[in-house]
Amino acid sequence: KNIIKKNNTLFEINLSQKEIYCYEYTTSRAFLMTLNELNDYAGQHEVIAENLSTQIIAELSRYTQELKAERKSHFHDGRRAQQHIENSWKQLESSKRRFERDCKEADRAQHYFDKMDADINVTKADVEKAKQQAQLRHQIAEDSKNEYLTYLQKFNKDQHEHYYTLIPHIFQRIQEMEERRVGRVRESMRVYTEVEHKVLPIVSKCLDGMTKAAESIEPKMDSKQVVESYKSGFEPPGDVEFEDYSVSMKRAVSESSFLNARGESRRRSRSKLWPLLKRNKLMSLLASPRQPPPPPPTSPSPDGLLNGPQSPQQPKEPLSQRLNDFMGTKHKMHCLRSLKRGVSSRAATSPLHLPPEQRRKKLQAKLNDINKDIQKEMDQRDALTKMKDVYIKNPHLGDPDSIDPRLEEITQSLEKLQLEAHKFEVRPSQRRQSSHFDSQGNTPLTNNYGQNRESPDGSYTEDPSTETSMQFKSRSTEFDEEFDEEEPLPTIGTCKALYPFEGQNEGTISMAEGEMLYVIEEDKGDGWTRVRRNEDEEGYVPTSYIKLFLDTNAKGAMTYI
């Protein structure tokens, strides 16, 4: 019973955490039904245990004490009877030995008298004395004989009573006691069977329920439910187009056209595979800012000398090469969050990071909940309206104006709920339209919720092409939506800011002097170190502006300080 209770408790906890899972699959429902039946089954065993405790164990314990006392009394009577017959036998033996001794002494006295009487030399007085002594001994022997006969008769009587009356009576009482004991055992066994018979129908129903639960499991239905629950809704990738490299490309071709020709082909062939990739593998493109880090202040702090000279600057690259690397690099995007400074990740409850099919289900579920709330508010409004009409017709029942504040409150609540429902109704259609454009590959993707997202500080200035910039922003937003919910990179140490840094360049993060930050990527020779302030804010800071405290077991690139 305790094991069943423990399993039920654990299952209830698990049920509260994964309630949908437990109610969707036949295996989970059957397991829950089996646990419930086991609980009832264990309850019947508790009934059996309680009945056995009250009707058998308690009675047997009391009766056992009575039997022990009665048995002790019978054995005491037997020992007392045995001791009495032994004492009678000892008295008989003692009188017998005394009678034998007195007879021998009387014989010796008679022989002495006869000898004295035959001797002529003995005086008459001696003969008379010997005669009196012989007569005395004969009298003593006669008394011993009578005593012996008395004890003999007494012993024979006691012995007859012992073997024919006392001992049989004691054994009879012991036999009756044992018969009562055996009868009580029989009664206890009968009571046990009756207790078992009483719970058999319920136990049989429990077992039938377990059998029914086992038969209710449908493997095919569960597998279909798994597919329905986890299907993504992504379309398979299209055919890879042929890229003709035999035609020499002229240098005069605009960088934006080169980006469209190369980026779109790679996007069509690889964009559909992104949901299957890991964040750490996909987010390796974005490197440190191309601008060289600013030099430290002219009056460095004492700790500033530890970082040494600034790393050498690297030449700038054109935006087209930067974006081509962005779309075609082997390591996709190292971290999209470095494009944004101070932007928090969306809430964990947002469905935007889910695949299309799962996103549709989440939005539909929220829409259904909102519709239920709307219906509830409408019912309350109708009821209050009817109540107001009754008050108007019968003023003595109540004041109609007292209902107006509540009606106004319900009206405002309905407006908010209807507005929220409209958002959820529009959102799936916009997503489907966006997915349609993505599959066609002709129109850049747009983020329907981009207004709610903070744009990065600054932008690239190398390419004046508006179309290329819009494509880059669209791709970045799309990547953010796909991978913004993944786990952040692990920290490899900490650092202390030696100087304040504004972080106005793209991909950088501001810091105050003395502030402690987490290091997630070491300086790779360009003078920038990637840090994190919290779980949501990451960026690059100049290596010469910080003092590093790396973990000894952390793995990372060599830091040039």
Q: Which amino acid is at 5?
A: K
Q: Cβ atoms within 10 A of the Cβ of 379, count?
A: 11
Edge-to-edge order in the sheet of strand 516-521: 538-542, 528-532, 516-521, 493-497, 546-550
Using the 8-state DSSP alphabet, how is residue 553 labeled? T
List C-alpha distances in Å: 144 to 86, 99, 132, 323.
21, 5, 19, 144
Residue 2: the pLDDT is: 60
548 three-class SS:
strand
Give the CA diameter of the chain. 190
For position 507, what pLDDT does the model report?
Answer: 82
The C-alpha R_g of the chain, in whole angstroms, comes to: 55
Provide DSSP, 421-434: HHHHHHHHHHHHHH
| Residue that has been written with the tokens 């493109």 in this structure | 285
Predicted confidence at residue 557, as pLDDT, reads 41
**CB 480, CB 453: distance < 8 Å:** yes
Q: Is 407 exposed, middle or buried (0-12, 13-18, 19+ CB in 10 A)?
A: middle
The pLDDT value given to residue 426: 59
How many Å apart are CA 423 and CA 419, to the nearest integer?
6
pLDDT string in tens for the chain (561-residue length): 565 555 555 555 555 544 555 567 899 899 999 999 999 999 999 999 999 999 899 999 999 999 999 999 999 999 999 999 999 999 999 999 998 998 988 888 888 888 888 887 778 888 888 888 888 988 988 998 899 999 999 999 999 999 999 999 999 999 999 999 999 999 999 999 999 999 999 999 999 999 999 999 999 999 988 888 777 777 788 888 888 777 655 444 444 444 444 444 444 444 444 444 444 443 444 455 656 777 777 644 444 434 433 433 433 444 444 444 444 433 334 333 333 333 333 334 556 566 777 777 778 888 888 888 999 889 988 988 888 888 888 888 888 888 888 888 888 888 888 888 887 775 554 444 444 444 444 433 333 333 333 333 333 333 434 444 444 344 444 444 444 444 567 888 899 999 999 887 878 889 999 999 999 888 888 889 999 987 778 889 999 999 988 877 654 444 433
Would you state the pLDDT for residue 348? 42
Long-range contacts of 25-32 (CB under 8 A, 24+ apart): 25/222, 25/225, 25/226, 26/216, 26/217, 26/218, 26/221, 26/222, 27/217, 27/222, 29/213, 29/216, 30/213, 30/214, 30/216, 30/217, 31/213
What letter represents residue 347's amino acid?
A
Q: What is the pLDDT of residue 230?
A: 79
